[in-house]
Structure 1
């Protein structure tokens, strides 16, 4: 059902994706991925306050869930809460292993934080590291979308597209 909701989300069918996610959450209310994806759906629907609350609750319940922290940081950046966004990301880059999806989320969020602080060298370093991880067309698509979001700051639509790219084809690759 999670795969179905991801496919529906990618197709722009937010309401149908939301129904699938709510079914999952009826069975497993603490399901971190479903909760995070529901926040992405609410963002796509323009329900930003609800998305923010979902992510805040998710991070409170699952503080080690990297994607939730990164997505919340991205939303905080949209509200110019740069220090709060940065605080969510401190130390995460020190993890020994990151799934490619986590790397895109983390490096992207960190790049946006550094961009907001005017630290362009740090932004370029993060993008360079991330680009070196690109292995296939899906990674290349994610990188282009992230680069566009960096080049065009504070565009919630770009963030929504970036979230959609994280649940796209190949997102499960270890």
Structure 2
């Protein structure tokens, strides 16, 4: 299947953001009725860190308030862990197959629990505007803009704090406590 003009523009933006052309691996859902391609960038954004990023999620519908908003998602972790690529693909399939929203402040609960040992204290994925790769926040393409969001593994207590206090409060707490968002073994900050 040929890549759309928009997806080619997204991949070019990712190459620029990552500093080189990353390898891309195709992931399928359990029934192999949906696919998503995930790029793997080593030592990006800095040495010892790994970025996994969707490449063609923008081709699927992501509807918020009646508007379709094309997105890509990425996660940054310490070291390499293919289960994180699988967890990111699970978030993508939640959107593609089950029409879950991906937007700033949205949580996909229990995604990381599907991969035992991946992030023992952090079962949920929380989507935020990019902290790393800020150039991907809005990718301009001939077919319209694509917005990339960073996925942060978060704890149950952090998720409850979000639901009780809102996005800005949780984001402020993460900034105040200088959260090591790439550390899958970190303790909850709440």
TM-score, length-scaled by structure 2: 0.29
TM-score, length-scaled by structure 1: 0.31
Q: Name the one with the larger helix percent.
A: 1
